[in-house]
Structure 1
Amino acid sequence: MSTTRSHAAPPKRSRTIVGLVVLGALVVVIAATAWVGIRGLQAKDALQAAVPLAASIRNQVVAGDGAAAAQTAAQLAEFAETARSRTSDPIWRTFELLPFLGPNLQAVRELAAVVADVAENAVTPLADLAGNLNLTDFKPVDGKIALQPLVDAQPQVAAADAALARAAANVSAIDTGDVLEVVRNAVTQLRAVTVETAVTLDGMNRAVTLLPAMLGADAPRDYILLFQNPAELRSAGGIPGALALLHTDAGSIELTQQASSSSFPEYPAPVLPLGDEIRGIYSDITGQFIQNVTMTPDFAQSGALAREMWRLEFGVEAAGVLSVDPVALSYLLDATGPITLATGDELTADNAVQLLLSDVYARYEVPAQQDAFFAAAAGAVFDAVKSGRADPTKLIAALARAATEHRVLVYNADEAEQALLSDTTLAGTRPVSDSSTNRFGLYFNDGTGAKMDLYLDAHTAIGQQTCRQDLRPQYSVEVTLTNTAPADAATSLPAYVTGGGAFGVPRGNIKTMVSAYGTPELQNLGVTRDGATVAYHPATDATYPVSTIGIELAPGESTVLRFSWLGDEPFSGDLEVRSTPLITLHEVTQLDFGC
């Protein structure tokens, strides 16, 4: 019996050992789970605390309270680091291997890492910069802008720009396919904010890099200033009826010469090679008349043509070309306040467009006098900004709004500097699409030969529909054009506005050449007008499929043009339309159409 008991003892000890191992493992699992749960709650609390701080920093920077922004940024960085550290230990990473729970933990860890990166490497240096700078530092004094603060800011802005670009890429790479809705929403919100901020900061980085050079930090420069007049439309805005030469030197800015379209002759041939595509769509006159250099939607080409014409007439080889329109000037007037002109007129943000694009034609019958008034008004606004009377915050907001609407354009003859402008609204390029957005173009060129585009109204819509078995989508851009001139425009409006029938267009009518650009890989499907298929001019411009049609509208008449293209593969992203900046802009709407 004793022998039997002796042989039975080991199984009992084995069961005890196994039980202890299982119990120990269970304790470890429970402890690890509790560890992950507690640290997850700590990370959640830290991330939630960080959200309102980010908004506070933005408000403090806008208010010019750099010290408060720096302090808040330090708090944000502390919370962000807490969230990152709580989600990056080995136990957390092990739990990421579990089904269902794992993808959520991984997404939260990556989310916390992005927030920590932004807080440490973007927000903190920018808040420190805000603490050392004030918008008033860039306010002109005696016509001169201090350039050293911009130069000193370059390293911090460049570092923050790199951090935001990295964060935007990292948050976009977070896999949210198998996560809870609350986690997916958090990633989506952070992605939207990060990508938007990255774009803004990218523009800021380019600005602090480019502005000192353009303002003559290294050597004096000359820039041609085009004042585009949208009362007579061109693709980039309007005819350059008035021009000026802008001289910069070590931050000082002077208007040293003014000219008008009458200062330039008709050149017997384009002053620079245009290429068969541009010549086919817009003809040789694009490079023969200063009034037509902006017929192309590529402002780099417009700038190069204007620069060459100025050189031919005045012997000055400018460093580049800048462009503004009266609507942009009205935005600047909101920052400077009212300006009294030599004529006694008071120019304000509210009356600038009406005075410059309508009243001036009723007052002066001679085109040269109209251009002179326009140039004088633009010069007065420039002097007001240069004198330092503009509110810096409002001035920046005005320039940003005008740039967003493509009313401020810049061309630099230096290739490296021009490259800094690429992919920005200032460059005035053809619309560039990416993996998330297809961008189309819609451009207008006046065919009346007068200023009737004061009365041209345009409403635009865009949409897509998939009707084919191969899932290739159809895209359509629709524009409703209306001549809003009074019924008696032929007799009530001056000949300089109606054109007087000089180009075969009856007085009061508006003739417009409309060019629609698809994305480069699309197949052109043609044009309809008021629902009926019509003849049009198909072409290609730098691989973009282009449809051009001329239309003429009597006072009160409307027409609906629809341009269509066929895509080469399914697409589920966003659609945008970039168009000529008319005097009045309307929101682009969604176009719904059937198969």
Structure 2
Amino acid sequence: MPTGTATTGMAMVTATPRYRPSCRHPPRSEPAARASSRDRPAFCLNRAMSSPRSAHAARPKRSRTRTTVGPVVLGLLVVFIAATAWVGIRGLQAKDALEAAVPLAMSLKDQVVAGNGAAAALSAAELAEFADTARSRTSDPVWRAYELLPFLGPNLVAVREVAAVVDDVARNAVMPLAALAGTLDLNAFKPVDGKIALQPLIDSQPQVAAANTALTRAAANVDRIDTGNVLEVVRSSVTQLQTVTVDTAVTLDGMQRAVTLVPAMLGADAPRDYILLFQNPAELRSTGGIPGALALLHTDQGSIELTQQASSGSFAQPDEPVLPLGDEIRSIYGDITGQFIQNVTMTPDFAQSGALTREMWRLAFGVETNGVLSVDPVALSYLLDATGPITLATGDELTADNAVQLLLSDVYARYEVPAQQDAFFAAAAGAVFDAVKSGRADPTKLLTALVRAGAENRVLVWNADEGEQAVLAGTTLAGARPVSDSTTNRFGLYLNDATGAKMDLYLDVHTAIGQQTCRADQRPQYAVEVTLTNTAPADAATSLPAYVTGGGSFGVPLGNIKTMVSGYGTPEVQNLGVTRDGATVPYHPATDATFPVSTVGVELAPGESTVLRFNWLGARPFSGALELRSTPLIALHEATQLDFSCQGSSQ
């Protein structure tokens, strides 16, 4: 047997040698050491690739990828958490700063009104600091980056914009006004020897103008804040800020107009003459009442003198209007508007009333005045709250509580002759004027009284100078027709007495306004409703003086009240007619300076009531506010919201 062969089968199998190539590298001195790896057996190559040493060399690349991604993700997570915490903390800081500013703003308002300059300056500085904190906390790059996130982003944008508005108001409105409070004291405007110091008003004009500009800008900016996708708490804050900025902007706008116009009207540059109308709402006219008494005011360097008084009997009664009226006014109110001083206020445009009054005064007395002012007995009662009771030459004590009753009712029972009634009324108005001029009035209460009377359209002003009148444009003092804008549709309701007497003391008036969308094209229907009631006693025909009932001079039964009611729509609406107590009634359609007008005559016996509804169709969809401007009655009732069902076509 060959050497090495097993003697048994088992031995043969186990002992048979198998060839296995060597993977050991030959010595470098041998030629094989220079052999290429491609000349090595595949087995050796495989072993080499899978050897521990080779595996150790391959792992680092995959390990570096894992160790790089992990820290990056962790780092980003840490950054996100930190940034979120940053935004949250700064948001809370901004919230605290804004909340701290609220009581300061309220205190500042009281300090400015009180003329406490030192306290106002301190409060303003604190307010500005809080506002700056809120702005800075909501305007850094991290905050701005988070504004890009869905849901959270719109809230952050709104908060940042709120903080920016507050900061703008604090720096550019509050600070100038606070500085003004240190130099401007309301007591400085109390007349001394019948003269008001005008220089403080003139000196305040730059600060008031700067503050007014800032508030106007702030009101516009807050109105642009998008609250469509924000939390309710954010939306509520924006709404509150809108209310505050708009209300304050309106007040400050009035303040700027006052400091601009008052010095000129009080003769800062040259002496002035103004006609003062006392409108009597016991006999209604569109802007208040019949002008039964008038006076001439002369101003010069802040001094005010009542130099002449007149009554309706002092004026001639021409056959033609003293100035051209135009077909529109003649159609609605008649030529009598421009013929008789008692009727110049029939039109709701006080600029036209002023021009007619000025011309009638020129024709009667040869004096060409600078303008016309108007007040009524209710406004006088407000002034009496500032002056305190006044004793008249007749021995009557005129107070805030009894002025209206005394001037609009008792006087007619006491005096039967119209000239005596007018004289009493003029004397009472003159006494109130003298009390204000003497410095008796509390300046804060006087300002409050004037603001209230102005808001109720009981004080009206017309300047013959167009530039000065432009300063009043858009204010209640101008006494213009109701002008609408993009956010508010304004309608008008004006009453003119047709009884020819003083029965409107017993006319109770309630108004309502509303809209309803009934058509497929979304054009809205508008309705203005007025409820009129004759509250005179059942025996008015015999218990009331003839001068009050009219004595039947104009064909109206004693005790009845006859009124011409004119409803003014916005210029673009379509007139849908008038109903009375739910039934369609005839009316007089007309146009007054592009305003569509419907006029209806109503006569009521004592105790009788009726409801008129003026209907209009809008030109396009509208979702804004509605406002009703009307004749300032003795007793004012705020217009309520009118809910009504759809009428007419739905096309």
| SS, match of residue 516 in structure 1 | strand
- By how many angstroms is 1:269 displaced? 1.2
**Of residues 446, 452, 462 in structure 2, which corresponds to 1:411?**
462
1:495 matched to 2:546? The reply is yes
| 8 Å Cα contact 2:492/2:629 also seen in 1 | yes
- Aligned length, in residue pairs: 595
| 8 Å Cα contact 2:184/2:200 also seen in 1 | yes
| 8 Å Cα contact 2:114/2:185 also seen in 1 | no
Tell me which residue corresponds to 1:188.
Answer: 239
**Of residues 132, 142, 145 in structure 1, which corresponds to 2:183?**
132
| SS, match of residue 295 in structure 1 | coil
Partners of 1:64 and 1:212 in 2: CA distance:
20
| 8 Å Cα contact 2:350/2:462 also seen in 1 | yes
The letter of the residue matching 1:233 is L
Partners of 1:153 and 1:62 in 2: CA distance:
14
Tell me which residue corresponds to 1:585.
Answer: 636
Q: What root-mean-square deviation, in Å, do the aligned CA atoms of Structure 1 and Structure 2 show?
A: 1.1
Partners of 1:22 and 1:479 in 2: CA distance:
71
- By how many angstroms is 1:65 displaced? 2.6
1:238 matched to 2:289? The reply is yes
Tell me which residue corresponds to 1:313.
Answer: 364
Cα-to-partner distance string for 1:362-403 (whole Å, 9 max, x where unaligned): 111111111111111101100000000001111011111111
Tell me which residue corresponds to 2:568.
Answer: 517
- By how many angstroms is 1:573 displaced? 2.0
Partners of 2:585 and 2:638 in 1: CA distance:
27
The letter of the residue matching 1:226 is L
Tell me which residue corresponds to 1:544.
Answer: 595
Partners of 1:182 and 1:461 in 2: CA distance:
33
1:115 matched to 2:166? The reply is yes
- By how many angstroms is 1:17 displaced? 2.2
| SS, match of residue 132 in structure 1 | coil
| 8 Å Cα contact 2:531/2:609 also seen in 1 | yes
Give percent identity, aligned residues only.
Answer: 83
Partners of 1:575 and 1:408 in 2: CA distance:
23
1:254 matched to 2:305? The reply is yes
Tell me which residue corresponds to 2:204.
Answer: 153
Tell me which residue corresponds to 2:616.
Answer: 565
- By how many angstroms is 1:101 displaced? 1.1
Partners of 2:136 and 2:220 in 1: CA distance:
21
Partners of 2:258 and 2:184 in 1: CA distance:
16
| SS, match of residue 592 in structure 1 | coil
Partners of 2:268 and 2:293 in 1: CA distance:
28
| 8 Å Cα contact 2:112/2:177 also seen in 1 | no
Tell me which residue corresponds to 1:279.
Answer: 330
**Of residues 13, 33, 41 in structure 1, which corresponds to 2:64?**
13
| SS, match of residue 572 in structure 1 | coil
**Of residues 222, 227, 231 in structure 1, which corresponds to 2:273?**
222
The letter of the residue matching 2:390 is I
**Of residues 156, 179, 183 in structure 2, which corresponds to 1:105?**
156
Tell me which residue corresponds to 1:458.
Answer: 509
Structure with bigger gyration radius: 2
Cα-to-partner distance string for 1:401-424 (whole Å, 9 max, x where unaligned): 111110000001111111110111
Tell me which residue corresponds to 1:266.
Answer: 317
Partners of 1:559 and 1:29 in 2: CA distance:
70
- By how many angstroms is 1:174 displaced? 0.4
- By how many angstroms is 1:359 displaced? 1.1
| SS, match of residue 379 in structure 1 | helix
Tell me which residue corresponds to 2:24.
Answer: none
The letter of the residue matching 1:335 is A
TM-score by length of 1: 0.98
**Of residues 119, 129, 132 in structure 2, which corresponds to 1:78?**
129
Unaligned runs of 5+ in 2: 1-50, 647-651
Partners of 1:544 and 1:231 in 2: CA distance:
27
1:358 matched to 2:409? The reply is yes
Partners of 2:583 and 2:314 in 1: CA distance:
44
Cα-to-partner distance string for 1:138-184 (whole Å, 9 max, x where unaligned): 00000000000100110000000000000000000000111111111
| SS, match of residue 369 in structure 1 | helix
Cα-to-partner distance string for 1:57-79 (whole Å, 9 max, x where unaligned): 12223344332122111111100
- By how many angstroms is 1:212 displaced? 0.4
Partners of 2:155 and 2:605 in 1: CA distance:
62
The letter of the residue matching 1:83 is A
The letter of the residue matching 2:310 is A
1:391-402 residue pairs with structure 2 within 5 A? 391-402=442-453
Cα-to-partner distance string for 1:427-458 (whole Å, 9 max, x where unaligned): 11111112222111110011011111111111
1:89 matched to 2:137? The reply is no
Partners of 1:233 and 1:540 in 2: CA distance:
22
- By how many angstroms is 1:496 displaced? 1.2
**Of residues 107, 113, 118 in structure 2, which corresponds to 1:67?**
118
| SS, match of residue 323 in structure 2 | coil
- By how many angstroms is 1:243 displaced? 0.5
Partners of 1:77 and 1:55 in 2: CA distance:
14
Partners of 1:67 and 1:516 in 2: CA distance:
51
The letter of the residue matching 2:321 is P
| 8 Å Cα contact 2:138/2:163 also seen in 1 | yes
Partners of 1:25 and 1:211 in 2: CA distance:
65
